[in-house]
Every structure is written in structure tokens, then in C-alpha cells.
Amino acid sequence: MHVDYMEVIRKRYENLGYQAYRWFVADDDAPWTPLEKRLHECKLGLLSTSGAYALGQVAYHYKDDSTIREIPSNTQTDDLRFSHITENYLVNPRKDPNCILPTETLHTLVQKKVIKSLANTVFSCMGGTYSQRRVKTEIAPEILKNFKRQDIDCALLVAM
């Protein structure tokens, strides 16, 4: 059995008496950009949409928060926190952040020479943003700007 997430959410909204859920429909296919280096030669960037923040940083709020957090990739997992409008999916990530923000996993893959390096800073946002406009005009451009600043070769997006 598979989960038909898009149809399930449409029906769930309908059953709750909400306005019809409008999934994002892109105007065009995303431009295809093949990786120019071999993976083990690449510096990797990381974005998690899980609402991760580090101890000492401001947490996310639940109403279309479009801010991002820059988290040092060597942050101890005991100092990682989460706030996200769908708190019910954070039970295990709060026990083991690597479920959704795999910094320790990626450091291991560096040691195993699967990738060359992980950027010194990884990014997170609160993916439960219901404003398509804010995602397109605020979050995505800000993430792209920060990735370019890091001079990475490729980036892994871990969606929640």
C-alpha cells in the first residue's frame, strides 16, 4: 500500500470544510543541470525544511514563517531543536535529529569519501508555509543566495 499524499490532503481539507487545497503547479520544468564533478569531489550544501534551529537561535513561528536559520554543520545534536506547524511529525527528529537534518550522517559520508566535504553551515526553514508567493519570492531566493555564497557544487534538500 502506498500513500497518495496529494489526494489525501485534498480530501482531508474537503472533509474539514476548508477551501480546496491548492497544490503548487509549476509553469515549466525545472532547468536540468547535470553534476559537473564526480560526487566524491563535491562540496555539498544542505537544506532541511524541518524547522530546525540551534540552541541560542530564535525558533520559527507557525504562520508562514519565511525566515531561514544558518546552523553550523558541526553543531552537536543535543543542541539542535525543531519548531514546525506539523509538530506531530517531529517526535523522532527531536530524539535523533539525523532523521531529518542528517549532519552526522553526512560527516560520516565525508569520512567514507562519498562526498568531499559538507559546507560549514547548513540551512533550515519551516516548510509548513502556505503562501506560494512567499516561498517563491522570499525563501527560495534567500536559500539560493546563501548556497552561492558557500561555493558549493551541489545541495541536498531534505524535505519534511
Partner 1 sequence: MFVNYPLGHSAGKPFDRADQEYVVESALNGFNSLKKSSQIGMIDSDWGSTGWKNEANSTAGEDTRQPRDTRPQYQFEEDRIAAETI
Instruction: Kindly tell me which of 7 and 149 has the beta carbon lying closer to partner 1.
Output: 7
The residues, any chain, with a CB within 8 Å of residue 55's CB and separated by 6 or more, are 79, 80, 81
Backbone angles phi, psi at 113, to 5 degrees: 60, 30
CB of 27 to partner 1, least distance (A): 13
Q: Closest CB to partner 1 among 67 and 121?
A: 67
Residue 32 identity: W
Minimum Å gap between C-beta 59 and partner 1 is 4
Backbone dihedral angles phi then psi of residue 61, each to the nearest 5 degrees? -100, 175
Between CA 42 and CA 49, with CA 45 as vertex, the angle to 5 degrees is: 150
Site residues (vs partner 1, CB under 8 A): 1-5, 8, 11-12, 14-16, 29-32, 35, 39, 42, 44, 50, 53, 55-64, 81-83, 85-96, 98-102, 105-106, 108-109, 114-115, 128, 154, 156, 158-160
